[in-house]
A and B are shown apart, each in its own frame.
Chain A
Amino acid sequence: MVERTAQLQREQQNTETLLHILTEVSSSLDLDRALNRTLALLNDAIGAEQGTIMLLNLEDNLLHFRAGYGYLSDRVSGGGRGFKLGIGEGLAGWVVAQREPALIDDLLNDPRWVKAVDSSGEHRSAIAMPLLVAEDVIGALLVYHRKPNYFSPELLSLVKAIAGQVAVAINNAHLYELIRDQAERLGSMLRREQEEASRSQAILEAVADGVLVTGSNNRISFINPSAESILNLEAGNVLGQSLDVFGGLFGKSAGTWMQTIRDWSDSPGIYQQGDTYAEQIDLENGRIILVHLAPVIFQNDFLGTVSIFRDITHEVEVDRLKSEFVATVSHELRTPMTSIRGYVDVLLMGAAGALNENQTHFLNIVKNNTERLNILVNDLLDVSRIESGRVTLSPQALDMREVAEDVIGDILRRSQEENKPMALSLDAPKKLPRVYGDMERIRQVLGNLMDNAYHYTPENGTIIIHIHSLNGGGEVQVDVKDNGVGISLEDQDRIFERFYRGENSMVLSTPGTGLGLSIVKQIVEMHKGRIWMKSTGVPGEGSTFSFTLPVYETQ
């Protein structure tokens, strides 16, 4: 009866110990603390003097000392930290290798015993228990006593039960650590990405130009405050909406822009690398917007489009006023010029009386300078009209041979009048495709290039017009080659710039505005042609100006 009562008490105590340990190891997420507490409770419960836990390290596959509690751990600094055993080595290694517990009555008689630290020689009896989680062994739990024959098989079962719980707790803690590390890594990655995204967003929000982004489904995914104010839209009303919903707001001129976005969204395959699109849009509210559109491509995937808006209402107005001003001033200059030139002509005709030699000479100077002013005014008018888009071409099929013959005829007459002999020739095949161009304007282009060649080639020079077809007959190229002063290498880059005349004294002493070539270039480009020049810069080797024009297609 007494024995039965004692047994029941022991069982109750054991259960309580187990419960304590269970609570301890499962409630703490700090593994080291939990293991120390477990060993303390275990020592108390079974009267052991020292407890040790060694865990299998997956990296080196060795058992590492992890926790210790008892007389030895208190006495020895470090308590066996850094102590390692191979699987199968020592008592701990043996139970791990065998996956079964060992109850040792006297360590001094056990060949498996390996002394961990100096004082561990005092251990005499021990229980060694593998820590098992399902099929995996993760380490060993060992309890010691300085008396031989201290541990009973009953205590072995208790230690086994506790070891089972400890193993689960260790495993849980490992999993927890793994998850925590993973979560931390993910968290910091996410934070970095969020920071990056917020930074990009902040930059886009701050940009003075309007930015509107559509997704691959043609829906608006971002709009910055500038775009809201330029387009007169509110982010809240447009985000997530299809761009088509706002078609009416942008006016008719936005049609191509929206259609391009739609085309790109519908069949992302059609855009070419580097494709962009720019257009001027006249909004219904009278504002004028310049939009630049580009596809957003990330690793070959079409993510959508980004449109940049700039309100150019003011610039367009200023430009219009400038052109208008230039046109008005040029026009107003004609009236006094008509008077000056007319009266000088009348005087030179002798209509107001006979003139002496000096008077004639001076009046001729006035006349020449009036002519110079007249050219300047005409050029300025041309520039302002081309820039304001008021020049409309009337293209037709043109025979460049005929145009060239006409222009050569003009220059020939001048050369005779001015007594400046010049060898002029035309080199062109009989069968030349006709070009598509505005008769007056193309004559102006070739006339201007020929004028320059004539002016900047000393007398008895040579000017050749060479015409040939190009690109399999798709274009006609016209070269005007002279053997005059040429163009210095440093002037060549700027030769088509407005008002640029270089430093050559022969050029500067010739009446001119520096506008001719810039007008010629614009006219050629309006015809979808190209213009360029070549010169060695050596006087006497001259220069060659070339331009192309598209061939007239009959259909």
Chain B
Amino acid sequence: MAKILIAEDERDIRDLVAFTLRFAGYEVFTAANGEEAVELAPNINPDLILMDVRMPRMTGYEACRIMKLNPDLKDIPIVFLSAKGQETEIQQGLEAGAEEYLLKPFAPDQLTSHVKTILAKFGK
């Protein structure tokens, strides 16, 4: 089963996303900010990273840029999770190298089907 790394500072949302994806059968790992995600990613070698934009210590954008510079990590698809109405954030996120953008609030089945589509797109 595919491995997914979630980076989200809000614990409730992190747990929700983790629970939903585990329920859907994925192997899930979590990080509380961008820095943790950058540290964990090489050990886990996930098939997909879901990342919040605004996080303490290191934002999602920075983490995304760092991983895209790392030859071992640069091919892992990254999807940002962020609130609606931040069109400039979407643009910045895509420029930082993310594949997609998923807007909060999202329903669990929506999240699951989205994740499934992206993994399929990347042949995982």
Which residues of A approach B to under 8 Å, CB–CB?
A: 327, 330-331, 334-335, 337-339, 341-343, 345-346, 349, 351, 370, 374, 378, 381-382, 385
A346-B16 contact, Cβ under 8 Å, with A335-B10, A378-B84: yes
Q: Which of A341, A382, A385 sits near B105, CB closer than 8 Å?
A: A341
B59 at the interface (CB under 8 A from A): no
Q: How far is the CA of A345 from the CA of B105 in the complex (A)?
A: 11
Distance in angstroms between the alpha carbons of A385 and B84 in the assembled complex: 13
B116: shortest Cβ distance to chain A, in Å?
A: 16
Query: A342, A345, A351, A385: which contacts B85 (Cβ < 8 A)?
Result: A385
B13 near A345 with CB under 8 A, answer no
On chain B, the residues within 8 Å of A330 by CB distance are 85
Q: Which residues on the A side are within 8 Å of B13 (C-beta)?
A: 335, 338-339, 342
Would you give the 0/1 interface string for B68-112, flagging 1 where the beta carbon is closer than 8 Å to chain A?
000000000000000111100000000000000000111111000
Interface residues of B (CB under 8 A from A): 10, 12-13, 16-17, 19-20, 23, 83-86, 104-109
Contact A342 B10 (CB under 8 A): no
Q: Among B23, B86, B106, B109, which residue has its beta carbon within 8 angstroms of that of A338? A: B106
Whether B108 lies near A331 (C-beta < 8 A) is no
Is A351 within 8 A of B106, CB to CB? Answer: no
The CA of A339 and the CA of B23, in the complex, are separated in Å by 17
Give the docked Cα–Cα distance between A339 and B8 (Å).
Answer: 12
Given contacts A337-B105, A349-B109, contact A342 B20 (CB under 8 A): yes
A381 and B106 in contact, given A339-B13, A342-B20 (Cβ under 8 angstroms): no
Known contacts A331-B83, A378-B85, A338 near B104 by CB under 8 Å: yes
Q: List 29 A-B contacts (CB under 8 A).
A: A327-B85, A331-B83, A331-B86, A335-B83, A338-B16, A338-B105, A339-B13, A341-B105, A341-B107, A342-B13, A342-B17, A342-B20, A342-B106, A342-B107, A342-B108, A343-B12, A345-B108, A345-B109, A346-B16, A346-B20, A346-B23, A349-B108, A349-B109, A351-B19, A351-B20, A351-B108, A374-B105, A378-B84, A385-B85
**Interchain CB contact under 8 A, B83 and A339:** no
Main secondary structure of the interface of A (DSSP, over half): helix
The reply to whether A342 and B84 contact each other, CB–CB distance below 8 Å, is no
For chains A and B in complex, what number of residue pairs have CB atoms within 8 angstroms? 58
The reply to whether B16 and A339 contact each other, CB–CB distance below 8 Å, is: yes
Residues of A within 8 A of B83 (CB): 331, 334-335
How near does chain A come to B5, taking the closest CB pair, in angstroms? 19
A379 to nearest B CB, angstroms? 11
Q: Once bound together, how far apart are the Cα atoms of A343 and B13, in whole Å?
A: 9
Whole-angstrom distance from the CB of B50 to the nearest CB of chain A? 13
Chain B minimum-CB-distance residue to A381: B85
Complex contacts, B16 vs chain A, CB 8 Å: 338-339, 342-343, 346
Name the B residues within 8 Å of A382 (CB-CB): 85
Chain B residue at minimal CB-CB distance from A349: B108
Chain B residue nearest to A373 (CB atoms) is B105
* Closest Cβ–Cβ distance, residue B30 to chain A (whole Å): 15
- CB-CB nearest in chain A for B17: A342
Chain A contacts of B109 at CB under 8 A? 345, 349
- Find the B residue at minimum CB distance from A332: B83
From A327, A335, A381, A385, name the one whose CB has the most chain B CB atoms within 10 angstroms.
A335
Q: Shortest CB–CB separation between residue B86 and chain A, in angstroms? A: 8
* Chain B residue nearest to A346 in the complex (CB): B108
Looking at the assembled complex, report how far the CB atom of B61 sits from the nearest CB atom of chain A, in whole angstroms.
Answer: 17
Determine the distance from Cα of A382 to Cα of B107 in the docked complex, in whole angstroms.
22
Instruction: Select from chain B the residue with minimum beta-carbon distance to A370.
Output: B105
Q: Given the complex, which residues of A lie within 8 Å of B17, measured CB to CB?
A: 342
Separation of A330 and B85 alpha carbons in the complex (Å) = 10
Q: How far is the CA of A112 from the CA of B76 in the complex (A)?
A: 139
CA distance A382 to B85 in the complex (A): 8
Query: Chain A residues near B20 (CB, 8 Å)?
Result: 342, 346, 351
